Amino acid sequence: MEELQLRSAVDAKYKWVLEDIFVNDDACKEAMDAADALISELKKYEGKLHAKAGRTLYEYLEKQSEAARLTEKLYVYTKMRLDEDNSNALYQGLFAQAANLYYKLVGAVSFFEPELMSIEEEKINGYVKNVPELQQYQFIISQLLRLKAHILSAGEEKILALAGESLQTAKNAFTMLNNADLRFPAIKDESGKKIELTHGRYSSMLESKDRKVRKAAFTALYKTYASFKNTISQLYCGNVKADNFGAKVRKYHSALEAELSADNISVKVYNNLISTIHANLDDLGRYLKLRKKVLDVKRLHMYDLYVPIVEMPKVKYTFEEAKDIVIKAMAPMGKQYVEDMKKAFTEGWIDVYENRGKTSGAYSWGCYDSHPYVLLNWQGEINDIFTLAHELGHAMHTFYSNANQPYHYASYKIFVAEVASTVNENLLMSYMLDEAKKEGDTVKQAYLLNHYLEEFRTTVHRQTMFAEFEKKAHAKDQAGQPLTCDVMCDIYYKLNKKYYGKGCSVDKDIELEWARIPHFYNSFYVYQYATGFSAATALAAGILKDVNKEEAGATEKYLDFLKSGGSDYPLNILKKAGVDLTDSAVIQSALDVFAEKVTQMEAVFN
């Protein structure tokens, strides 16, 4: 058996350089003392934000930024050190200290928003005029003032804060039930060996070439959830009621409006997404019928949706080969972008290979005072190349935001967070398809098209269906209608019939899928996957048209988007880049690309 290598055995050129954050652990420990002192200073501003006609408010905001910036730096460094090897006791301790500092910071600044909102808006605007330096914080202040109508009295806010932990009970209980207490039965794998079904194994079993394995996994999973369906329905109902309670007391029309208001997102964006998807379900049906044809089954079932219909020949890519592919694929972004991205490979941004104790998966992270970092666990599969392009998209977004924005506007919102990463994936897909066509490799073309269509189906169609379920569930409770298990199953089954019924037999068991989706306990979150993917599809198309002289300026607008950070509301930032998500045309343009790729896939198999 080949064992994982130790961290010490990994070649330095394949490790990230965290010394660019702190030169050593002693410097990190010294910074912890400095951060602790800065955080302690913040409390002295409580009750005094109105003093000196805005000067004190400015001093506080500067101190808050300084404390947050150093605390973030410590948190990022210690967590990334721990991610190198989670068994390292030294970094377990240092990360715990950094986390304690973070929570101390949260507590120290908790007075700020209620106190600022207790000051008359006219006075606050006067402070900004009176203290020119405050103008750099004007957008932050304006965001708080915009929400002032939904901020309650100090006493009421305190009660809500005290109730906050209790209102998380449904979410916490579901997490424990789903991750700790639920046990699934054993089923037979491809070789006939009995293997215990788990959340992780379920996904791989649905990709099995053996249809009996797929069906057995599907049936066993939902049979298990069915045995807990009344408990889980009460947990989700409790979560919905908590959302509707919060929206009502804060004077919002709905929980959906309350959730979207923080980023100034119109409910129209949410509704446009759903209605536009509905209008284009025929193309999803075409894809499902093609899947049925290629799999050569009489009826396509829900457990047939994830098995790859094109098997890619087992080709292993070295990291160096992948690097060259990604660099060539990003050429449409222009020379400066490519040169800046190359720094990731030469200046210690990337931690490439798996080692014992290393955090699994992949991510991009960093702090304002360092370049971005990328964690990988390179296996050499074609999917790893897409992961590299994806994480470098995040990294370049961070790189340009940090370089062009002050600390307090450098972080971009979740609503736009997946745009840059998905643009990179789109450009890589375009490049690899072109190369496969030049090589006459129809198998690779088919594999890539299938990869894209599955990414689209699961990120746009499926997440939109999730979003529609959330909307319907919350609306029923808000209207005073009982949200029982049968009601939720009925809503969910009808949605599956609507989305998948044109090309798939919708198995009755799927009515319980809502019961296993943890994202539903972070309400009205998943729609952002669909809008982000759609925006990225439109932006990538514009960049490629720009290269072909069909849409001048698209690339420059996109690069400006990367530089914007959180300096404006996300919808405004995207609009400046040429994507208006209040207009259904953006979603439609992405769906047109999906339809085009289905047509290309059909041509391969006809």
Show which residues are catalytic.
Answer: 391
Residue 110, phi then psi, degrees to nearest 5: -65, -20
- Burial (CB < 10 A; 0-12, 13-18, 19+), residue 479, is exposed
Structure tokens at 262: 């923080």
Measured distance CA(447)–CA(239) in Å, rounded = 40
Helix (H) or strand (E) holding 350: strand 350-351
Alpha helices, DSSP H, located in 227-334: 229-249, 255-261, 267-278, 281-295, 319-329
Single-letter amino acid code for the residue at 572: N
Find the Cα–Cα–Cα–Cα dihedral 376, 377, 379, 380, rounded to 10°.
10
Structure tokens at 424: 């990179």
Give yes or no for a contact between 413 and 421, defined as CB atoms under 8 angstroms apart: no
Place of tokens 């006067």: 126
Residue 448: CB atoms within 10 Å: 25
Dihedral over Cα of 49, 50, 52, 53: its sign: positive
Nearest one of 258, 308, 268, 236 to 476, comparing CA atoms = 236
Give yes or no for a contact between 201 and 194, defined as CB atoms under 8 angstroms apart: no
Give yes or no for a contact between 505 and 300, defined as CB atoms under 8 angstroms apart: yes
